[in-house]
Structure 1
Protein backbone atom coordinates (compact mmCIF):
# COMPACT_ATOMS: atom_id res chain seq x y z
CA UNK A 1 0.00 0.00 0.00
CA UNK A 2 2.86 2.38 0.82
CA UNK A 3 4.34 1.63 -2.57
CA UNK A 4 1.04 2.55 -4.22
CA UNK A 5 1.10 5.89 -2.46
CA UNK A 6 4.69 6.53 -3.51
CA UNK A 7 3.83 5.63 -7.11
CA UNK A 8 0.92 8.05 -7.11
CA UNK A 9 3.14 10.86 -5.84
CA UNK A 10 5.68 10.38 -8.61
CA UNK A 11 3.39 9.74 -11.57
CA UNK A 12 3.48 12.48 -14.18
CA UNK A 13 -0.16 11.67 -15.08
CA UNK A 14 -1.48 13.69 -12.16
CA UNK A 15 -4.22 16.05 -13.32
CA UNK A 16 -3.17 19.64 -13.56
CA UNK A 17 -4.55 21.87 -10.90
CA UNK A 18 -6.72 24.77 -11.88
CA UNK A 19 -5.54 28.30 -11.27
CA UNK A 20 -6.50 29.98 -8.03
CA UNK A 21 -8.80 32.43 -9.82
CA UNK A 22 -10.67 29.71 -11.71
CA UNK A 23 -10.92 27.64 -8.55
CA UNK A 24 -12.38 30.60 -6.65
CA UNK A 25 -14.82 31.30 -9.49
CA UNK A 26 -16.04 27.69 -9.46
CA UNK A 27 -16.59 27.80 -5.68
CA UNK A 28 -18.45 31.11 -5.95
CA UNK A 29 -20.60 29.66 -8.73
CA UNK A 30 -21.35 26.65 -6.54
CA UNK A 31 -22.39 28.88 -3.62
CA UNK A 32 -24.53 31.06 -5.91
CA UNK A 33 -26.34 28.01 -7.32
CA UNK A 34 -26.99 26.64 -3.82
CA UNK A 35 -28.26 30.03 -2.61
CA UNK A 36 -30.45 30.43 -5.72
CA UNK A 37 -31.82 26.94 -5.12
CA UNK A 38 -32.77 27.75 -1.54
CA UNK A 39 -34.25 31.14 -2.37
CA UNK A 40 -36.05 29.81 -5.46
CA UNK A 41 -37.60 27.03 -3.43
CA UNK A 42 -39.01 29.60 -1.02
CA UNK A 43 -40.00 32.10 -3.73
CA UNK A 44 -41.83 29.56 -5.93
CA UNK A 45 -43.55 27.82 -3.02
CA UNK A 46 -47.00 29.11 -4.06
CA UNK A 47 -46.53 28.83 -7.85
CA UNK A 48 -45.31 25.21 -8.13
CA UNK A 49 -46.24 22.00 -6.37
CA UNK A 50 -43.87 20.28 -3.98
CA UNK A 51 -42.81 17.42 -6.32
CA UNK A 52 -41.78 19.89 -9.03
CA UNK A 53 -39.79 21.97 -6.54
CA UNK A 54 -38.13 18.85 -5.11
CA UNK A 55 -37.00 17.77 -8.58
CA UNK A 56 -35.72 21.27 -9.30
CA UNK A 57 -33.82 21.41 -5.99
CA UNK A 58 -32.25 18.00 -6.57
CA UNK A 59 -31.20 18.87 -10.12
CA UNK A 60 -29.70 22.22 -9.09
CA UNK A 61 -27.87 20.67 -6.14
CA UNK A 62 -26.44 17.96 -8.42
CA UNK A 63 -25.25 20.68 -10.80
CA UNK A 64 -23.63 22.53 -7.88
CA UNK A 65 -22.01 19.30 -6.71
CA UNK A 66 -20.69 18.68 -10.22
CA UNK A 67 -19.18 22.16 -10.37
CA UNK A 68 -17.65 21.71 -6.92
CA UNK A 69 -16.15 18.41 -8.09
CA UNK A 70 -14.28 20.27 -10.83
CA UNK A 71 -12.34 22.35 -8.30
CA UNK A 72 -8.93 21.31 -6.95
CA UNK A 73 -10.44 20.33 -3.61
CA UNK A 74 -13.25 18.49 -5.37
CA UNK A 75 -10.79 16.41 -7.40
CA UNK A 76 -8.89 15.56 -4.24
CA UNK A 77 -12.15 14.54 -2.54
CA UNK A 78 -13.15 12.36 -5.51
CA UNK A 79 -9.73 10.71 -5.42
CA UNK A 80 -10.14 10.08 -1.70
CA UNK A 81 -13.55 8.48 -2.19
CA UNK A 82 -12.21 6.29 -5.01
CA UNK A 83 -9.34 5.14 -2.78
CA UNK A 84 -11.77 4.50 0.08
CA UNK A 85 -13.96 2.40 -2.23
CA UNK A 86 -10.93 0.39 -3.29
CA UNK A 87 -9.99 -0.22 0.34
CA UNK A 88 -13.56 -1.26 1.18
CA UNK A 89 -13.35 -3.94 -1.50
CA UNK A 90 -10.21 -5.34 0.13
CA UNK A 91 -11.88 -5.83 3.53
CA UNK A 92 -12.60 -9.41 4.56
CA UNK A 93 -15.97 -9.18 6.28
CA UNK A 94 -16.87 -11.73 8.99
CA UNK A 95 -19.33 -14.45 8.19
CA UNK A 96 -22.79 -14.40 9.75
CA UNK A 97 -21.95 -17.04 12.41
CA UNK A 98 -18.77 -15.15 13.36
CA UNK A 99 -20.69 -11.88 13.68
CA UNK A 100 -23.42 -13.55 15.76
CA UNK A 101 -20.87 -15.24 18.03
CA UNK A 102 -18.97 -11.99 18.54
CA UNK A 103 -22.22 -10.15 19.32
CA UNK A 104 -23.14 -12.73 22.00
CA UNK A 105 -19.66 -12.46 23.52
CA UNK A 106 -19.95 -8.66 23.71
CA UNK A 107 -23.43 -8.86 25.27
CA UNK A 108 -22.24 -11.48 27.78
CA UNK A 109 -19.20 -9.46 28.83
CA UNK A 110 -21.33 -6.33 29.11
CA UNK A 111 -23.85 -8.09 31.39
CA UNK A 112 -21.03 -9.61 33.50
CA UNK A 113 -19.25 -6.28 33.99
CA UNK A 114 -22.51 -4.47 34.73
CA UNK A 115 -23.33 -7.05 37.45
CA UNK A 116 -19.89 -6.56 38.99
CA UNK A 117 -20.31 -2.78 38.96
CA UNK A 118 -23.81 -3.09 40.43
CA UNK A 119 -22.43 -5.28 43.23
CA UNK A 120 -19.60 -2.85 43.97
CA UNK A 121 -22.04 0.06 43.95
CA UNK A 122 -24.31 -1.77 46.40
CA UNK A 123 -21.38 -2.47 48.72
CA UNK A 124 -20.22 1.16 48.61
CA UNK A 125 -23.76 2.44 49.27
CA UNK A 126 -24.09 0.05 52.22
CA UNK A 127 -20.77 1.21 53.70
CA UNK A 128 -21.67 4.89 53.27
CA UNK A 129 -25.12 4.31 54.79
CA UNK A 130 -23.54 2.49 57.74
CA UNK A 131 -21.03 5.29 58.32
CA UNK A 132 -23.58 8.12 58.01
CA UNK A 133 -26.06 6.46 60.38
CA UNK A 134 -23.60 6.65 63.30
CA UNK A 135 -24.45 9.29 65.86
CA UNK A 136 -21.54 11.05 67.51
Structure 2
Protein backbone atom coordinates (compact mmCIF):
# COMPACT_ATOMS: atom_id res chain seq x y z
CA UNK A 1 0.00 0.00 0.00
CA UNK A 2 2.88 2.36 0.77
CA UNK A 3 4.40 1.74 -2.66
CA UNK A 4 1.08 2.68 -4.26
CA UNK A 5 0.93 5.93 -2.32
CA UNK A 6 4.47 6.83 -3.38
CA UNK A 7 3.73 5.94 -7.01
CA UNK A 8 0.55 8.03 -6.96
CA UNK A 9 2.39 10.98 -5.47
CA UNK A 10 5.15 10.74 -8.06
CA UNK A 11 2.59 10.54 -10.88
CA UNK A 12 0.85 13.59 -9.46
CA UNK A 13 4.17 15.38 -9.18
CA UNK A 14 5.00 14.45 -12.76
CA UNK A 15 1.64 15.76 -13.96
CA UNK A 16 2.11 19.01 -12.02
CA UNK A 17 5.60 19.49 -13.45
CA UNK A 18 4.30 18.78 -16.94
CA UNK A 19 1.51 21.32 -16.36
CA UNK A 20 4.07 23.90 -15.19
CA UNK A 21 6.14 23.35 -18.32
CA UNK A 22 3.00 23.53 -20.48
CA UNK A 23 1.99 26.81 -18.81
CA UNK A 24 5.45 28.24 -19.43
CA UNK A 25 5.51 27.10 -23.06
CA UNK A 26 2.04 28.56 -23.61
CA UNK A 27 3.21 31.84 -22.11
CA UNK A 28 6.22 31.95 -24.40
CA UNK A 29 4.05 31.12 -27.39
CA UNK A 30 1.64 33.91 -26.44
CA UNK A 31 4.52 36.34 -26.00
CA UNK A 32 5.58 35.88 -29.61
CA UNK A 33 2.08 35.36 -31.04
CA UNK A 34 0.89 38.72 -29.74
CA UNK A 35 3.94 40.59 -31.04
CA UNK A 36 1.80 43.51 -32.21
CA UNK A 37 0.86 44.38 -28.60
CA UNK A 38 2.96 46.53 -26.29
CA UNK A 39 6.27 44.95 -25.28
CA UNK A 40 5.82 46.10 -21.69
CA UNK A 41 2.41 44.45 -21.47
CA UNK A 42 3.70 41.22 -23.00
CA UNK A 43 6.66 41.11 -20.57
CA UNK A 44 4.39 41.70 -17.57
CA UNK A 45 2.02 38.94 -18.67
CA UNK A 46 4.93 36.60 -19.38
CA UNK A 47 6.39 37.24 -15.91
CA UNK A 48 2.99 36.58 -14.33
CA UNK A 49 2.65 33.32 -16.27
CA UNK A 50 6.20 32.30 -15.30
CA UNK A 51 5.38 33.03 -11.65
CA UNK A 52 2.29 30.84 -11.96
CA UNK A 53 4.34 28.03 -13.51
CA UNK A 54 6.89 28.28 -10.67
CA UNK A 55 4.06 28.26 -8.11
CA UNK A 56 2.67 25.06 -9.65
CA UNK A 57 6.15 23.49 -9.76
CA UNK A 58 6.79 24.34 -6.10
CA UNK A 59 3.73 22.35 -5.03
CA UNK A 60 5.44 19.12 -6.12
CA UNK A 61 7.77 17.01 -4.01
CA UNK A 62 10.89 18.03 -5.94
CA UNK A 63 9.74 21.65 -5.82
CA UNK A 64 9.40 21.55 -2.04
CA UNK A 65 12.82 19.91 -1.81
CA UNK A 66 14.32 22.65 -3.98
CA UNK A 67 12.68 25.35 -1.86
CA UNK A 68 13.98 23.72 1.34
CA UNK A 69 17.48 23.55 -0.17
CA UNK A 70 17.34 27.25 -1.13
CA UNK A 71 16.17 28.19 2.37
CA UNK A 72 18.91 26.11 4.01
CA UNK A 73 21.52 27.60 1.67
CA UNK A 74 20.41 31.11 2.57
CA UNK A 75 20.68 30.24 6.26
CA UNK A 76 24.22 28.90 5.74
CA UNK A 77 25.25 32.07 3.90
CA UNK A 78 24.17 34.08 6.91
CA UNK A 79 26.44 31.98 9.14
CA UNK A 80 29.56 32.56 7.04
CA UNK A 81 32.16 34.89 8.52
CA UNK A 82 33.09 37.09 5.57
CA UNK A 83 36.57 38.64 5.41
CA UNK A 84 37.02 42.33 6.03
CA UNK A 85 37.90 44.72 3.23
CA UNK A 86 41.52 44.89 4.38
CA UNK A 87 41.84 41.08 4.44
CA UNK A 88 40.35 40.87 0.96
CA UNK A 89 42.75 43.50 -0.43
CA UNK A 90 45.77 41.84 1.19
CA UNK A 91 44.82 38.41 -0.11
CA UNK A 92 44.26 39.82 -3.60
CA UNK A 93 47.66 41.51 -3.57
CA UNK A 94 49.38 38.30 -2.42
CA UNK A 95 47.69 36.36 -5.24
CA UNK A 96 48.68 38.98 -7.84
CA UNK A 97 52.32 39.02 -6.67
CA UNK A 98 52.50 35.22 -6.71
CA UNK A 99 51.02 35.10 -10.23
CA UNK A 100 53.59 37.67 -11.38
CA UNK A 101 56.48 35.74 -9.81
CA UNK A 102 55.28 32.45 -11.25
CA UNK A 103 54.84 34.05 -14.68
CA UNK A 104 58.41 35.39 -14.62
CA UNK A 105 59.78 32.00 -13.51
CA UNK A 106 57.92 30.20 -16.29
CA UNK A 107 59.15 32.75 -18.83
CA UNK A 108 62.76 32.24 -17.65
CA UNK A 109 62.37 28.46 -17.77
CA UNK A 110 60.89 28.66 -21.27
CA UNK A 111 63.74 30.94 -22.43
CA UNK A 112 66.32 28.54 -20.98
CA UNK A 113 64.73 25.54 -22.68
CA UNK A 114 64.49 27.41 -25.99
CA UNK A 115 68.18 28.37 -25.77
CA UNK A 116 69.18 24.76 -25.04
CA UNK A 117 67.00 23.53 -27.92
CA UNK A 118 68.55 26.03 -30.34
CA UNK A 119 72.06 24.96 -29.30
CA UNK A 120 71.20 21.28 -29.72
CA UNK A 121 69.58 21.73 -33.13
CA UNK A 122 72.12 24.23 -34.46
CA UNK A 123 69.53 26.91 -35.24
CA UNK A 124 71.08 29.39 -32.85
CA UNK A 125 73.20 32.24 -34.20
Q: 1:37 aligns with which of 11, 27, 31?
A: 27
Q: Which residue of 2 aligns with 1:107?
A: 96
Task: Report 1:65-76 matches (<5 A).
Answer: 65-76=54-65
Moved over 4 A (4+): none
Cα distance in 1 for residues equivalent to 2:14 and 2:93? 53
Partner of 1:26: 16
| Structure 2 segments unaligned to the other structure (5+ residues) | 1-5
In structure 1, stretches of 5+ residues that fail to align are 1-16
Q: More helix by proportion, 1 or 2?
A: 2
Residue by residue over 1:19-70, the C-alpha shift from the partner in whole angstroms, topping out at 9 and shown as x without a partner, is 1232122111101101101111111012x11111111111100110111111
Q: Which residue of 2 aligns with 1:10?
A: none
Q: How many residues align?
A: 117
CA distance in 1, matches of 2:111, 2:31: 59
Mapping for residues 3-18 of structure 1, pairs under 5 Å: none
RMSD of the TM alignment (CA)?
1.4
